[in-house]
């Protein structure tokens, strides 16, 4: 067991890498920091911090409307309902959300991850919450089995990059959140050819005002930086001649089950 397991909030400094393999190679990296929050203790975390706020404005803040139903309602009932609908109700004892918070009111999470544990503390399920720059959101739910790192796959059902079509499959590799955390996503086409590899890995520490201030000092505009990086790299791909795919209608269901 890691000494960070019982912390209500962890701060991870992560290196993000994207490598596109088809029809030409294009690779870039950037750094971010992100939070892992126990969704039942967010108010507790905010109450003891001068830099982090919950459901109100702050230098760094968290708002329920950025996730789950995205209507401002509490996150837990929504996740519980998703788990129950897929026969995973026992996995809702503890739910932690990995996501970038709002920084100066700005937020965008290409991917957020809910880690859902059973009452005995064992990992039960994970829910990947994917967003695109068009405002769409879709979740990929996975039942966990065996020890981490876990590997699982899902057919792509929501448009993300305008330069990759919908006939694609995701392969996820995920570690258990502790002092270190690593996520890898490989996207392949219908023939199994690699299209994209994306990774995110880094170290975590308990989130305190001191560690949060250090992260802000190192990367004060981390969320704006992420949005800018996505659009800048999209421009580079367009200039290289990448094929543009129009955005299809988003999926009807908010969550699909992965294998």
Torsion of CA 172, 176, 182, 185, to 10 degrees: 10
Distinct helix (H) and strand (E) counts, the chain: 4, 14
Tell me the C-alpha distance between 14 and 219, whole Å: 11
**Total length of the chain:** 259
Tell me the C-alpha distance between 77 and 240, whole Å: 45
Tell me the C-alpha distance between 224 and 235, whole Å: 17
Tell me the C-alpha distance between 250 and 160, whole Å: 10
Structure tokens at 89: 């109700």
> To the nearest 5 percent, what fractions of the chain are helix, strand and coil?
20, 40, 40
Strand partners, 52: 60
CA distances from 219 to 31, 59, 60, 152, 222 (A): 8, 13, 12, 32, 5
Residue 4 near residue 12 (C-beta atoms within 8 A):
no
Going residue by residue through the chain (259 aa), what tens digit of pLDDT does each one get? 556 788 999 999 999 999 999 889 999 999 999 999 999 999 999 999 999 999 999 999 999 999 999 999 999 999 999 999 999 999 999 999 999 999 999 999 999 999 999 999 999 999 999 999 999 999 999 999 999 999 999 999 999 999 999 999 999 999 999 999 999 999 999 899 999 999 999 999 999 999 999 999 999 999 999 999 999 999 999 999 999 999 999 999 999 998 7
Closest CA to 251 of 169, 166, 194: 166
* pTM, to two decimals: 0.96
Structure tokens at 120: 């005995």
């Amino acid at each position: 067991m890691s000494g960070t397991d019982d912390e209500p909030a962890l701060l991870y400094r992560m290196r993000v890498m994207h490598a596109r393999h088809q029809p030409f190679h294009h690779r870039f990296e950037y750094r971010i920091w992100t939070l892992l929050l126990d969704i039942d203790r967010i108010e507790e975390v905010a109450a003891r911090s001068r830099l982090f706020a919950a459901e109100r404005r702050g230098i760094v803040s968290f708002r329920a409307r950025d996730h789950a139903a995205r209507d401002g309602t509490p996150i837990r009932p929504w996740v519980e309902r998703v788990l129950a609908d897929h026969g995973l109700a026992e996995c809702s004892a503890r739910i932690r959300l990995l996501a970038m918070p709002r920084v100066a009111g700005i937020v965008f999470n290409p991917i957020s991850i809910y880690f859902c544990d059973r009452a005995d503390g064992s990992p039960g399920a994970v829910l990947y919450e994917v967003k695109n720059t068009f405002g769409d959101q879709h979740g990929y739910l996975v039942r966990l089995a065996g020890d981490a790192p876990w590997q699982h796959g899902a057919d792509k059902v929501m448009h993300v990059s305008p330069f990759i079509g919908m006939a694609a499959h995701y392969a996820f590799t995920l570690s258990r959140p502790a002092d270190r955390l690593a996520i890898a996503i490989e996207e392949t086409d219908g023939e199994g050819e690699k299209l994209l590899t994306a990774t995110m890995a880094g170290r975590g520490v308990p989130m305190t005002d001191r560690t949060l201030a250090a992260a802000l000092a190192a990367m004060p505009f981390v969320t704006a930086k992420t949005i800018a990086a996505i659009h800048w790299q999209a421009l580079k791909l367009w200039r290289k001649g990448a094929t543009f795919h129009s955005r299809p209608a988003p999926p009807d269901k908010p969550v699909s089950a992965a294998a």
